[in-house]
Amino acid sequence: MAVTEHTGTRVKTRVPALSLRNVEKAFGQVTALSCVNLDAQVGEIHFVVGDNGAGKSTTLKILAGMHTADAGEISLNGTPVHFADASDAKAQGIAVVHQNLALVECLDVATNMSLGAIPKRGFMLDRKAMEREAEAVLSDLKVRVGSVRTQIGLLSGGERQIVAIARAVRMNLPIILLDEPTAALGVRETAHVGEILQELRRKGKTVICISHDLDFVFKLADKVTVMRLGKSVATLTADQARHDLVVGLITGSIDAAQIEKRSHD
């Protein structure tokens, strides 16, 4: 079995749309990431899994320009990049849906979806364009939230989550990062998010998604990177990603190096 063990060496033939090499990050005395490697391709749904505190959100925030790595390299299409801040990462093609949603409760759906890219006519907010755009994106994603004038605070947790995803999809950027997009969702809404991810894949986007929901992961993943204690320990392809193996890598009862060794014996 050809499990990619993360040794920091470049072994891929296709240039990844997004690549992390030996990324490290500490917060004061806390080492959040000690060695993270990840390669995600165009048109791929790439899951990142791992226990609480494994470093998944920190990795995503580095990719979203919210944290700066202490060491290591990020590349987009083979070119090393640096993100000054979140808007710089966005300008370089990265959209993100965070674990804590970052929607403004007192504003309506349409305004929330436009935050960061509000349509204007001259200096004036173009309210009609904003509503039209929000309606178009939501209907494209088959999302029903009543009116786009509904205040976000009045929606259910699941509906808010879908609006947050719709906002990121609206940006139409090549890379989309999602941190636990189904955590607050019921079965039907989870399936709906799955359909949205598949549609993004069909459109050739690179989707990187953190999830604890392994059923969701196995249903959709092209690749699964397992993180443990601040390290990416292995990346598995869809056919390698068996439940027991992934759980073993997450908990540490299976060592990626041993799998690699066994497969060569």
Residues that bind ligand ATP (CB under 6 A): 27, 30, 32, 50, 52-58, 99
Q: Of the two residues 16 and 55, which places its CB atom closer to ligand ATP in the complex?
A: 55
Judged by DSSP in three states, 246 sits in helix
The partner in contact with residue 52, picked from Mg ion, ligand ATP, none with C-beta cut-offs of 5 to 8 angstroms by kind, is ligand ATP
Q: Of the two residues 54 and 221, which places its CB atom closer to ligand ATP in the complex?
A: 54
At closest approach, how far in Å is the CB of 191 from ligand ATP? 22
User: How would DSSP label each residue in 182-215?
Assistant: TTT--HHHHHHHHHHHHHHHHTT-EEEEE-S-HH
221 to 91, 215, 225: CA distances (angstroms): 27, 10, 10
At closest approach, how far in Å is the CB of 165 from ligand ATP? 18
User: How would DSSP label each residue in 124-185?
Assistant: EE-HHHHHHHHHHHHHHTT---S-TTSBGGGS-HHHHHHHHHHHHHHT--SEEEEESTTTT-
The two three-digit tokens of residue 10, written as one number: 């470049």
Q: Of the two residues 58 and 235, which places its CB atom closer to ligand ATP in the complex?
A: 58
Q: Of the two residues 34 and 99, which places its CB atom closer to Mg ion in the complex?
A: 99
Q: Of the two residues 137 and 177, which places its CB atom closer to Mg ion in the complex?
A: 177
Q: Phi and psi at residue 23, in whole multiples of 5°?
A: -80, 135
The partner in contact with residue 53, picked from Mg ion, ligand ATP, none with C-beta cut-offs of 5 to 8 angstroms by kind, is ligand ATP
The partner in contact with residue 32, picked from ligand ATP, Mg ion, none with C-beta cut-offs of 5 to 8 angstroms by kind, is ligand ATP
The partner in contact with residue 27, picked from Mg ion, ligand ATP, none with C-beta cut-offs of 5 to 8 angstroms by kind, is ligand ATP
At closest approach, how far in Å is the CB of 53 from Mg ion? 8
- For residue 251, which amino acid is it? T
Beta-carbon-side half-sphere exposure of residue 259 (alpha carbons within 13 Å) = 23
Which residue ranges make up the site for Mg ion (CB under 5 A)? 57, 99
At closest approach, how far in Å is the CB of 28 from ligand ATP? 7
At closest approach, how far in Å is the CB of 99 from ligand ATP? 6
Contact 170, 137 (CB under 8 A): yes
Q: Of the two residues 49 and 141, which places its CB atom closer to ligand ATP in the complex?
A: 49
